[in-house]
């Protein structure tokens, strides 16, 4: 049985009531997302509140966080209330579609660790199914709705499997977005890239393409570049 919580240096994330647990994707996105000078951040599909908490630690921004799952929001609320940043994070039990229709705030940064198993077999557990399948919010919807919620110089940051990520970028480029950054994420230096970190923006920029390896060829040993990225969060670094 997995532990009911994950202890970080400055906060604790309980995830025993959430469909999706604390994982490498969320931690990587939360540590990587550029938040310099951000005053307003929106975390879409917050789950446990992990990314909202990480961005609160990394910035002075006010953060709004959404999730459609009641248990996820309740768990995120507990995690936020027991953190040092409870006065800067607001939680909403709603979909992005509903939030988009009533939102009057323009954000500096939108961040999402989205559903990504578009064509895979569905799991029998409804909550986990919602968290992992791009049915309640497709990647195209995420990109289209996010455009309206951003300030002119704002950015959207996501992490996706490489194939889905490239498809998302293709849709974004056809929808008045510009790709600011693409980081191919490798489990090990010699392995095939499994994830793609993406930063999209409304302003035209030359796309910066780079790579990030999580572990060395020795199992359970992080690369120096990954240690540098997550050192302010993981206890043993």
Query: Which CATH number covers residue 219?
Result: 3.40.50.150
**Do the domain assignments include residue 201?**
yes
Residue with tokens 């499997």: 161
**Do the domain assignments include residue 180?**
yes
**Do the domain assignments include residue 41?**
yes
pLDDT, position 220: 87
**Do the domain assignments include residue 237?**
no
Return mean pLDDT, the chain: 91
Domain that includes residue 111, residue range: 5-230
Whether the per-residue pLDDT at 3 is higher than 90: the answer is no
* pLDDT tens, position by position, 57-68: 999 999 999 999
pTM higher than 0.75, yes or no?
A: yes
**Do the domain assignments include residue 152?**
yes
Whether the per-residue pLDDT at 229 is higher than 80: the answer is yes
How far apart CA 215 and CA 195 sit, in angstroms, is 14
Whether the per-residue pLDDT at 119 is higher than 60: the answer is no
pLDDT, position 137: 83
**Do the domain assignments include residue 11?**
yes
Whether the per-residue pLDDT at 19 is higher than 90: the answer is no
If one counts the domains in the chain, the total is 1
* Residue 115 banded pLDDT, cuts 50, 70, 90: low
**Do the domain assignments include residue 215?**
yes
**Do the domain assignments include residue 235?**
no
Buried b (16+ CB within 10 A) or exposed e, 68-103: bbeebbebbbbbbeebebeebbebbbbbbeebbeeb
């Amino acid at each position: 049985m997995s532990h009911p919580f994950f202890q970080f240096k400055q906060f604790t994330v309980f995830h025993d009531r959430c469909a999706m647990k604390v994982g490498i994707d969320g931690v990587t996105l939360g540590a990587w997302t550029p938040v310099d000078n951000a005053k307003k951040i929106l975390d879409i599909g917050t789950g446990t509140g992990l990314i909202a908490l990480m961005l609160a630690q990394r910035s002075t921004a006010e953060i709004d966080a959404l999730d459609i799952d009641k248990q996820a929001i309740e768990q995120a609320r507990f995690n936020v209330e027991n953190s040092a940043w409870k006065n800067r994070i607001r939680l909403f039990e709603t979909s992005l579609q509903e939030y988009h229709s009533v939102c009057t705030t323009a954000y500096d940064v939108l961040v999402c660790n989205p559903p990504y198993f578009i064509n895979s077999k569905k799991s029998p557990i409804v909550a986990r199914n919602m968290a992992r399948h791009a049915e309640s919010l497709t990647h195209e919807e995420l990109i289209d709705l996010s455009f309206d919620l951003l300030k002119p110089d704002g950015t959207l940051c996501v992490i996706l499997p490489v194939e889905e990520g490239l498809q998302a970028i293709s849709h974004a480029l056809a929808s008045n977005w510009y790709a600011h950054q693409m980081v191919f994420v490798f489990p090990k230096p010699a392995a095939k890239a499994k994830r793609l970190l993406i930063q999209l923006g409304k302003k035209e920029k030359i796309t910066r393409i780079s790579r990030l390896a999580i572990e060395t060829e020795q199992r359970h040993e992080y690369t120096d570049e990954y240690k540098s990225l997550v050192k302010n969060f993981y206890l043993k670094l």
